[in-house]
Structure 1
Amino acid sequence: MHSKAMAPEYQGALTKMSVNASLTDVLAEGQRHLKEAELAGSQREVARTGLAVAEAHRRLGNVKDADRAWKASYRAARSAGATGAMAWALWSGGTLARQRGELRLAFRLLRLAADLGKEGGDVVARGYSLAGLAETGRIQGDYRTVAALHEQLLAEARARGEARHTVWALEGIAQIHRNTGSFDTALEMFEEAARLAGDADDRRGRAWALRGMADIISVRDNDPERALGLLSEAELTCRAMKLSSALAYNHKMRANVLYRARRYEEARTVYEQALAEFRAMTEPRGEALARLGLVKSLARLGRDRAATAAELDELRGTLDRIGLLNAREMVDKAYAELGVTPAGGMAAAEGATPPAGGLQ
């Protein structure tokens, strides 16, 4: 039996805030209580309320403000000798690093967070930090290394009845299955995540699950209208809660669905929208994936092959620097799909059949 979804990152005076609260409301409340804590001279409370401020800024795409906020939270926690609060601040910093495409830094901060969570006896901080490590590895494309950790965290979350963490783990494992071609299993897990998130009133988790379902239904069932309907439902939640990153990824997936349906002009427009959103929040992974979709759409609309090849070359270099193995493989497949030859002479089959699943 799972409880209603909670937001353990909303701490101190913000513990009663709903997991579904608008991020602008979380930010306003966090900043208000942070000022009160600073005036009262309570470093422990500064650390706790500062964490919510950092997370609200991060999810709103305010990268510089989020960076300052998590570091201030960590300094306050260290000053107070609050090991658990230090772990939470590092978790926030590691999550921000992953969002910014700084994967090495993300791994380092999240490992430190997990260690401090264990040292301080904060089981939830440790669990969230381990989950962050698993997600960073999954995003990187290192499925073999992180699949077992995802399964472990899913079992622990189910045992404790933590709905929100269970939903996260289900979605992570589902994404691994999707990326390795096990579409049926992936869809079942996304559907379970959506049901559980709905029962637990975890609107953010449900929005991400609906996005995953739409992806599979588009790829496996070739049913763009149903997929677009699910994305429209998820978009309502993203807008209501001001989930900037989730909304941008929703739009990128909408463009993917349109591209797969060969509605290339519509796909181009939505990729451009998603690209602008990712750039506004300095999210290089999303930006690179939206650029890839835009390159492919423009190629289908008649863009010069040399220009297409040049941009794919640049994208491949960008993804190499970030360390996104799975996304880099998608670029490699795009050469063959579009019938262009990359710099360096890597083979690209003229008129090759597009890879199963297309864009992610």
Structure 2
Amino acid sequence: MAETLFSFDKRNYRDCQSMFRGARDQEYYRGDFWIEDGSTTIDVRSERKAVGAISIIRQRSAANLFFRRSRQHIREDATDLSILWFVKRGELAISNQCGNKVARAGDFIITRSMSPFFMECRTGGDGMHEVLHVTVPTHILRGFVRQDFSTGLFMAMERAELAMAEHLLTEVFADDGGIGDASARLLVDTALGLVGNAIRATEDMQPARQSIADRRLEEVLRFIEVHLSDPQLSTAMVAKGCGISPRYLSFLLRLRDTSFSELVWEQRLAMAKAWLSSSDPRDISISEIAYGVGFKSPAHFSRMFKRVFGANPREYRGESGADEPVLVSAVEPFSDYPAEYPVGSNLLQ
């Protein structure tokens, strides 16, 4: 449930500088914050919902607000936070070393605390200003937004991804306890991922034209991913499913610097490793995981897993007890196997 971060009116608005970071002075970062003097109505309210290290904040104001973050503030407080601003009513004007920007209702901005800036939160024609903003430690945001946003980022809210991100964040903010902590974090991560996708998509509105080979390779990789759990997956099956010859399939995979065998077994083992890490032994056995990722026997799965990761599946999972039986056979590294495997070979049996 959201909590009140601060609330100001005619009686206490001059105390805003000492109160805007919350009761324990832990939200946001240092700066100069003030409310326009002489406003007919002063009603400023900020509510906060914490999700891990991230805060979702809804701020509404019936007065113009001002904030300045200077180099002196940065020297005194090196907190590196990025703020995602979804402007809902009024305007958000920002000035920094790159110039001046004005965001209106429907626009999206990212600011960062390690670059000086001056901000005005202006009321609109209805006398109100409203933003939904999200404070994110910059090292976390970099996992979702790869682009340089050291001096801020401005976007019109035209991308569907941004609207979806705002919707998810609003739902998490408004939740009264029905969403568990893990689900709330998942939703916030999804919203941040959508923001990152929107930013990447606007970098180049005219993506490079794909060649026929590139498109065919995408089809091949998708077919393999869809059918990865099928133990009968083979070059012949992929070639037929994609409408190409086995020779052309081999050519396409060489464009990716891999072979059919390397690609399939690396993906199967990676999927199995992730499954072992995230599952409970009481819910699913190692044998079920082996069959689930396309191996024909748990023994072969155990041999290949240990060869690649240095521990057998039971050891990797931290289970006690005897290992599953492993058939003794001389098996060469999977990268050396031909693209097709005869039924009965060690690799598929």
- TM-score for both structures, normalised by structure 1: 0.22
| Larger relative helix fraction | 1
| Larger relative strand fraction | 2
- TM-score for both structures, normalised by structure 2: 0.23
